[in-house]
């Protein structure tokens, strides 16, 4: 066999479908409501904005490579040991670091049918084999996940709550999943939407991490804290996992303005509570009002709703998306998530939420169709 004529990436890399983020534009619309990326409609804390601006005075200096101040602030806010926290350029980077640290060629990583697309990508990029466990009613199924485990399994990724379905696994089921895994399999709990959940049987994963050697919890500043543009996330993990990830991450993977904004955001509990209260009001309202229109809405505990459309010509998810775009409403198409008959809508401002319901009503009543 002749040698390649140019550098060739590992096979898994060429299987990756590049992640496509939610759209931001609605061409021709007088006003645009971006409801495609689960961003908070309240924006960041004014304290975070002020801290970000103040950080401009030190842009010539390298950031603290250990993210000491941010880790200490996270530890204080959540009652955690800062030494067991790693910060990253969004939780996406941490997912990639975990995959690179724990997957060798041919190793398997499990995620669920409608799990976050990045799980598949980081697995392939690390030379691993992504294994898909079927869901039950658009919810992660513990028994199905355990049935996919083999001697080659090294990581199980579970988003809780899940994006894009908005469903969740109660803490007892999460414990059962963890208990059913071999000791050498890492359970990665992605709790990006944890701050929005208002269910007594939910726990983000702190307990499992604190009491085991093979569980990790990921969190983000991109959602309820409103710092998506700064790419800031964190991981709580056993000391040996922290050590492995710190050996593979870049020495300055989090920038100073992001860290400063993160510390300030954590100090503004009132702003976080306002964001949570806004979601607690409008999430059930959207679910109920859209349901009254005859559309199925998957029960969600996050800050978005999954809306299902019929396959009837002129009333499909694709048709609805085109109609809503004309009114400045940008929702998320879900073909990459194997949900072609659904749209995901972020809980927005009151204006956006009411416009979305009114526009969906008009769409279903035939507005704009011959």
* Per-residue model confidence (pLDDT) at position 160: 98
Within 13 A of 185's CA, how many CA atoms are on the CB side? 24
Q: What is Dmax (Cα atoms) for the chain?
A: 65
* Per-residue model confidence (pLDDT) at position 2: 77
Which segments in the chain show pLDDT lower than 50?
A: 370
* Per-residue model confidence (pLDDT) at position 94: 98
User: Length of the chain, please?
Assistant: 370
* Per-residue model confidence (pLDDT) at position 5: 83
Question: Whole-angstrom Cα distance, residue 119 to residue 303?
Answer: 21
Average pLDDT of the chain, as a whole number: 95
Domain ranges for the chain, please list them: 11-43+270-364, 46-268
> Quick one: which of 198, 135, 144 has its CA closest to 338?
135
Q: What is the pLDDT of residues 6-33, one digit of tens each?
A: 888 877 787 877 767 777 676 777 799 9
Strands (E), the chain: 33-34, 85-88, 108-112, 129-133, 135-136, 139-140, 153-159, 186-190, 215-220, 233-236, 296-298, 304-308, 329-330, 332-333, 342-346
In this structure, what DSSP letter does residue 195 have? G
* Adjacent-strand bridge partners of 14: none
Whole-model pTM? 0.94
CATH assignment, 11-43+270-364: 3.90.1150.10
In this structure, what DSSP letter does residue 32 have? -
* Per-residue model confidence (pLDDT) at position 368: 55
Query: What stretch of H or E contains 123?
Result: helix 117-125
Within 13 A of 98's CA, how many CA atoms are on the CB side? 35
CATH assignment, 46-268: 3.40.640.10
């Amino acid at each position: 066999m002749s040698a390649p004529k140019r550098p060739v990436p590992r096979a898994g890399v060429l299987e990756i479908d590049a992640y496509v983020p939610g759209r931001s534009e609605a061409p021709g619309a007088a006003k645009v409501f971006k409801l495609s990326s689960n961003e908070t409609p309240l924006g960041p804390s004014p304290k975070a904005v002020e801290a970000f601006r103040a950080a401009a005075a030190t842009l010539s200096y390298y950031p603290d490579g250990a993210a000491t101040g941010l880790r200490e602030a996270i530890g204080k806010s959540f009652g955690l040991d800062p030494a067991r926290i790693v910060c990253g350029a969004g939780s996406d980077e941490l997912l990639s670091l975990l995959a690179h640290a724990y997957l060798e060629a041919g190793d398997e990583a499990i995620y669920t049918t409608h799990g976050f697309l990045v799980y598949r990508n980081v697995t392939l990029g690390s030379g691993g084999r992504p294994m898909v466990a079927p869901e039950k009613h658009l919810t992660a199924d513990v028994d199905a996940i355990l049935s996919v485990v083999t001697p080659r399994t090294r990581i199980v990724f579970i988003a809780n709550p899940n994006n894009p379905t908005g469903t969740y696994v109660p803490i007892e089921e999460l414990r059962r999943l963890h208990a059913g895994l071999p000791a050498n399999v890492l359970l990665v709990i992605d709790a990006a939407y944890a701050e929005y959940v208002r269910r007594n049987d939910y726990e983000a994963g702190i307990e499992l991490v604190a009491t085991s050697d093979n569980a990790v919890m990921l969190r983000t500043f991109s959602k309820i804290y409103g710092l998506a543009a700064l790419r800031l996330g964190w991981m709580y993990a056993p000391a040996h996992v922290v050590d492995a990830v710190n050996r593979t991450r870049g020495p300055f993977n989090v920038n100073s303005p992001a860290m400063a904004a993160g510390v300030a955001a954590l100090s503004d509990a009132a702003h976080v509570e306002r964001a949570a209260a806004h979601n607690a009001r409008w999430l059930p309202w959207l679910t109920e009002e859209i349901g009254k229109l005859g559309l199925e809405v998957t029960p969600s505990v996050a800050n978005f709703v999954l809306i299902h459309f019929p396959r009837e010509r002129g009333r499909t998810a694709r048709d609805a998306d085109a109609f809503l775009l004309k009114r400045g409403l940008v929702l998320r198409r879900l073909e990459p998530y194997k949900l072609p008959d659904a749209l995901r809508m972020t809980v927005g401002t009151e204006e956006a939420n009411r416009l979305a319901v009114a526009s969906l009503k008009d769409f279903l009543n035939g507005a704009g169709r011959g």
